[in-house]
Amino acid sequence: MEKRGILIILSGPSGVGKGTVRKEVFKHDDLNLKYSISMTTRAPRFGEIDGIDYYFVSKERFEQAIKNNELLEYAEFVGNYYGTPKSMVEKELDNGFNVMLEIEVDGANQVIRNCKDCITIFLVPPDFQELEQRIRKRKTEEEQVVQKRLYKARQEIELTNNYRHVVVNDDVESTAQRVIDIIRSYQKK
Ligand code: 5GP
């Protein structure tokens, strides 16, 4: 039988660059990675594709998924629901893939509680000003939402002690390399 894969949780405040680092890490086929596509009630941003970036669903559909126990974890983040569909994660872990969840801290804590062998990585910005600049540069959110995301980011950074690895995202390539090294160190175990 195939060796069961490892669950990897990648968290970090909004705007820290999780997606960019993740895409860099996923270029390495030997890591045997699969990305868990989340379900969200947030509206798609320009260029985001349903079924690739997220499953964009209505609030009713999301609440049904909660009720049917379809989600491994879920959380509310700045007025929207986000959650991890359980079936894909279980299937790919059973197939021997290492499955990466890119999720915020409340949801991550629900998973960490039940998973002793998970790899938990928290990305932090080099400093807060840089984070604010990155969120603003995206130009995808209105001022009120930007403020809420910044407030949430400060709260999230306080909660890094639930994660085994904290990595400063100063430069995409070297940060991705540090994440790769962390994953490889578990593959050897
Ligand atoms: P965004 O709206 O910027 O795409 O995501 C907002 C936050 O929700 C980010 O921190 C992102 O990592 C997190 N997130 C995305 N998918 C999930 C999920 O399935 N569960 C949880 N708990 N958080 C998620």
Structure tokens at 32: 């045997």
CA of 75 to the centre of ligand 1 (A): 8
% of the chain with per-residue pLDDT over 90: 77
Look up the pTM and report it.
0.93
How many domains does the chain fold into?
1
CA of 28 to the centre of ligand 1 (A): 23
Give 1's pLDDT tier (boundaries 50, 70, 90).
low
Q: Is residue 1 part of a domain?
A: no
* Biggest CA-to-CA distance, the chain: 52
Give the residues surrounding ligand 1 with Cβ less than 6 Å away.
14, 18, 38, 42, 73-75, 77, 82-84, 102-104, 107
Note down the domain range covering 174: 7-187
CA of 86 to the centre of ligand 1 (A): 15
Query: Which are the contacts of 48, defined by CB distance < 8 A and separation ≥ 6?
Result: 54, 56
Residue 27 scores a pLDDT above 90: yes
- Ranking 8-17, 83-92, 128-137 by mean pLDDT, the lowest is 128-137
Q: Is residue 2 part of a domain?
A: no
CA distance from start to end of the chain: 18
CATH number assigned to the domain comprising residue 167: 3.40.50.300
Give 158's pLDDT tier (boundaries 50, 70, 90).
confident
* pLDDT value at residue 29: 95
